[in-house]
Structure 1
Amino acid sequence: MSAPPSGPAPAAAGTRRRPSRRLIRTVTVGLCCLAVLAAAVVVGVRALGQEPTVTLLANWTGDDERNLRAAVIEPFERDHHIHVDYQGSSAESQVLGADVEAGTPPDVVVLTGPGELAAYAGQNQLEPLDDLIPRDAFGSSWATPLNGHVYWFPLKADLKSIVWYPAGTSERQRAQAAGRPGQWCVGLGSGATSGWPGTDWIEDILLQQYGPGIYQQWARGELPWQSPKVKGAWTTWGRMVGAGGKADLVRRALKTPYQKASEPVTARPRGCTLEHQASFIRNQDAWKRADGRYEPSARLIPGATASDAWEVSGDLVALLHDTPQARELIRHLASASVQRAWSARESGFSVDTRARPAPGDAGSAWHRSLAATLLDTRAAHCFDASDAMPPAVRDAFAEATIEFLAHPDHLPALLKSLDTLSTTRDLTWLPTVCDHGT
């Protein structure tokens, strides 16, 4: 307990003697020795391996990190007596690359890009997980086999082929808004990864217009960027959001961070009505206040012909340093209880077949509905194409969406450049990104 601001209260005169300086010095030295001894014991316990540690790198900070700690890390530490040294960074790809280059990678990493993980697997940086995760718990679009092994699995997932709108917006109003570029809430800003919301648009348009087969050919590097189908997806997006049009509209889209794109929904008068964004955006304050509802994007994308095809994304767990405690953490993350915990907190979704929500489960109606769609075995689920592409192609794709939005006449040159990059030797392309329809 801290002393009062004025210092220790003096004893009342004549009631007790002030302790001698010698006694004070003796007590102080004794306390310091005890503190040093306690610290030495902690260090010694760790050095002797009696308090093992596993390092974990992911991109979750803020509320997402708090959910991770409450739903995943704390139960693991309590049950297994293993300390988790967690590092959350919005620039985790750069952090991981630097750590791998320095020879000090984390034990376990959670990344959104299977294409990036495939590149690490090709460099023999990842350990196979075949004996650590349950068989058939995750579909092939989530735990994609590579060279006969599984190197990653989803800790949580999100649905992307959806459009959000405020409660009370009629079907007719939504259809009218979809034809007006200014009614789309668009924000391409995301720091070092700016542009990815634009890639989501183009990917989903291609999927809805031509189905999983064409989508997968493109995501595997087999369909050229300059093909009429891929080019058509770009131009459709451009017309929908007004690429190269009104300067204020384009400027708003380019400068707005994706997390704030929906803020005009709650303005008076309303600044935009529709947002093409993944399920995680429903937790933003604007959509909470607007009681956000969703519908399949196929209903609003011109020329959509696909039936029950969904673009999806996920946070994927991989093992870089094979230690007993790291293997325990992998088993824990792949367990049905942890997979269910994400859905229970509505901080994401599980696509583990063992974590299927039971009838009558508590939770928001929109969350239960999205969870059911992600686990629907009749639907086609195609992983985010840019996340599945080699990192160099993914990054160039994101940058190209920014330039296209401002200068749509640059599209032929952009697509040609992406084709040139995609045919570079030694790139690792995934063999599959969709679980059906191919």
Structure 2
Amino acid sequence: MRSRVNRRLLAGVAAFGVGALALTGCTGDIADDGGDVDCAPYEAYGTDEGKTVTISGTILDLEADRLVESWKDFETCTGIEIDYQGSSEFEAQIAVLAEGGNAPDIGIVPQPGLLARLAAGGWLIPASKGVEDNVDKWWSADWKQYGTYDGTFYSAPLMASIKGYIWYSPSEFADKGYEVPTTLDELKALSEKIAAEGDHKPWCVGLESGEATGWPGTDWVEDFVLREDGPDVYDQWVNHEIPFNDPQIVKAFDSVGEYLKNPDMVNGGIGDVSTQISEAFQTAGLPILDGECSLHHQASFYETFWNPDGGDANTVAPDGTVWAFLLPPVNADDPQAVTGGGEFPVAFRDAPEVETVRTFLSSDTWANNRVSLGGVISANKGVDPDNASSELLKQSIEILQGDTTFRFDGSDLMPGAVGADSFWKGIVAWVGGQSTQDTVDAIEASWPTS
């Protein structure tokens, strides 16, 4: 055991990420909060006293706080200090930083398409044997493939999410006699019923996310492609085996447009249709708490945002303040299919301490640490679903570990010029009034030719 350890604690969260990190010391295996730290789970990582690893990503606010907490004991036991900085501009800036030699040691990349772009630029360090051994043990082959480019494995997955959840108030549903829909037609009928009652708009939506504004709308389209036309068409679309302006994709856009472009449907508690573009995705569902809308489409990770101050005033449970059901299939007896996402810690600096951190982040130890802190899930097969912070997240982990048809977020798999650019921008233009055909034609024209 080491005679001295250092630990970084989150001191604050800046508007675009984690703020200053305070450095404190302690002796032996005694943590700076006065509690004992069991270093047994971290012995395999050795010690690297005095080494620092910088990490950047899109994870902000309370989620960033919990991320820092998840590796606190690892820092104590290995001596490696981790300096995390989050930014909503990470996706737009990371390639520029890498090209200029100013990238962090590790970047938590939320898109396989962006990972491919960074790898093609020659900026990434291939994953070490320790990382690869972990991904082979704890993750499916599909997840490993998402971290691979041109035959080289660059990153194990980190966290995951199930997309396509529809958040609602169980008490409102009970009071008004609403039934959870089992088909897309039933969802449409429920939305029309709420709209006709006139108390409030049925849906609240927020598409704003800094440089990534528009991405929540891409999730809607992807969910409808997968449900209306199935996984084979979804795969063909994502891989550009059919064009972006294929009639099947036009149909999915128009199905989504019946909600997002319809002033009778949105934007409850916020404003007219146009306010979707300016409303932050983090706050967009909160009008449900005030009875100003009834439905909000967002991923499993949105659980964190129901208590923005980090408390537990709003419970996530079937009989709680909020709960969620998955966007239903076309037919009630159709197999359930879901989209989802994840992050990938890629390395820009070739150093043993960097790979030690990445190996830890790919382990079942880290995954259980982070899931236990609340608000997120992982597709790591070593995660105990009972560690999840709510029944919904436990359900989400079981979905990832089960036989449900799963497809990674389509825009995240597309080339960066599309999935992290023209598709996002196209959603904004489309919600702003541009026709479906003009929108999909413009996105198709942006698809790289090689």
Q: Same fold (TM over 0.5)?
A: yes
Query: Aligned residue for 1:230?
Result: 249
The one-letter code matched in structure 2 to 1:100 is A
Determine the C-alpha separation between the residues in 2 that align with 1:391 and 1:172: 40
The equivalent position to 1:250 in structure 2, one of 249, 260, 273, is: 273
Which segments of 5 or more consecutive residues in structure 1 lack a partner in the other structure? 1-48, 427-438
Determine the C-alpha separation between the residues in 2 that align with 1:362 and 1:242: 36
Higher percent of residues as helix: 1
Query: Aligned residue for 2:10?
Result: none
Determine the C-alpha separation between the residues in 1 that align with 2:297 and 2:65: 27
In structure 2, the CA distance between the partners of 1:183 and 1:244, relative to structure 1 (3 Å rule), is closer
CA contact (8 A) 1:311 1:382 kept: yes
The equivalent position to 2:190 in structure 1, one of 177, 195, 211, is: 177
Query: Aligned residue for 1:206?
Result: 225
**Offset of 1:136 from its aligned partner?**
4.1
**Offset of 1:307 from its aligned partner?**
1.6
The one-letter code matched in structure 2 to 1:90 is S
Q: Does 1:259 align with 2:282?
A: yes
SS in 2 for 1:155: coil
Query: Aligned residue for 1:296?
Result: 326
Query: Aligned residue for 1:154?
Result: 157
SS in 2 for 1:143: helix
Q: How far does the alpha carbon of each residue in 1:407-438 deviate from its partner, in whole angstroms, 9 at most, with x for none?
A: 15x2222211211111x233xxxxxxxxxxxx
**Offset of 1:104 from its aligned partner?**
2.7
The equivalent position to 2:369 in structure 1, one of 327, 341, 365, is: 341
CA contact (8 A) 1:244 1:406 kept: no
The one-letter code matched in structure 1 to 2:442 is S
Determine the C-alpha separation between the residues in 2 that align with 1:413 and 1:160: 27
Q: How far does the alpha carbon of each residue in 1:284-342 deviate from its partner, in whole angstroms, 9 at most, with x for none?
A: 2379266211112025xx67885221100112111221101101101111111101112
Query: Aligned residue for 2:412?
Result: 387
The one-letter code matched in structure 1 to 2:433 is H
Determine the C-alpha separation between the residues in 2 that align with 1:143 and 1:232: 32
The one-letter code matched in structure 1 to 2:278 is K
Q: How far does the alpha carbon of each residue in 1:209-232 deviate from its partner, in whole angstroms, 9 at most, with x for none?
A: 112111111111222122111000
The one-letter code matched in structure 2 to 1:368 is K
Query: Aligned residue for 2:392?
Result: 366
How many residues were matched structurally?
Answer: 368
**Offset of 1:239 from its aligned partner?**
0.8
In structure 2, the CA distance between the partners of 1:393 and 1:363, relative to structure 1 (3 Å rule), is closer
Whose Rg is larger?
A: 1
Query: Aligned residue for 2:293?
Result: 272
Determine the C-alpha separation between the residues in 2 that align with 1:159 and 1:191: 22
Report 1:32-431 matches (<5 A): 51-72=50-71, 74-129=72-127, 131-133=129-131, 134=134, 135-144=136-145, 145-168=148-171, 169=173, 170-172=177-179, 175=187, 176-179=189-192, 182-243=201-262, 248-267=271-290, 270-285=291-306, 288=314, 291-299=321-329, 307-357=335-385, 363-376=389-402, 378-394=403-419, 395-408=421-434, 410-422=435-447, 424-426=448-450
Q: How far does the alpha carbon of each residue in 1:187-229 deviate from its partner, in whole angstroms, 9 at most, with x for none?
A: 1111221111110000110011112111111111222122111
Which segments of 5 or more consecutive residues in structure 2 lack a partner in the other structure? 1-47, 182-186, 196-200, 308-312
Identity %: 25
Q: What's the RMSD between the two structures over aligned residues?
A: 2.4
In structure 2, the CA distance between the partners of 1:124 and 1:70, relative to structure 1 (3 Å rule), is same
In structure 2, the CA distance between the partners of 1:103 and 1:216, relative to structure 1 (3 Å rule), is same
**Offset of 1:98 from its aligned partner?**
2.9
Q: Which moved more, 1:332-341 or 1:149-158?
A: 149-158
CA contact (8 A) 1:209 1:304 kept: no
Q: Which moved more, 1:411-420 or 1:144-153?
A: 144-153
**Offset of 1:81 from its aligned partner?**
0.9
CA contact (8 A) 1:356 1:375 kept: no
TM-score by length of 1: 0.78
TM-score by length of 2: 0.76
Q: How far does the alpha carbon of each residue in 1:260-284 deviate from its partner, in whole angstroms, 9 at most, with x for none?
A: 21122122xx221111110111222
Query: Aligned residue for 1:10?
Result: none
In structure 2, the CA distance between the partners of 1:132 and 1:362, relative to structure 1 (3 Å rule), is closer
The one-letter code matched in structure 1 to 2:302 is I
Q: How far does the alpha carbon of each residue in 1:230-272 deviate from its partner, in whole angstroms, 9 at most, with x for none?
A: 00000000012334778953123233211221122122xx221
SS in 1 for 2:103: coil
Higher RCO structure, 1 or 2 (CA under 8 Å, sep 6+): 1
SS in 2 for 1:288: coil
**Offset of 1:184 from its aligned partner?**
1.3
Q: How far does the alpha carbon of each residue in 1:78-116 deviate from its partner, in whole angstroms, 9 at most, with x for none?
A: 121112232221211234223212113222110111100
Determine the C-alpha separation between the residues in 1 that align with 2:230 and 2:154: 27
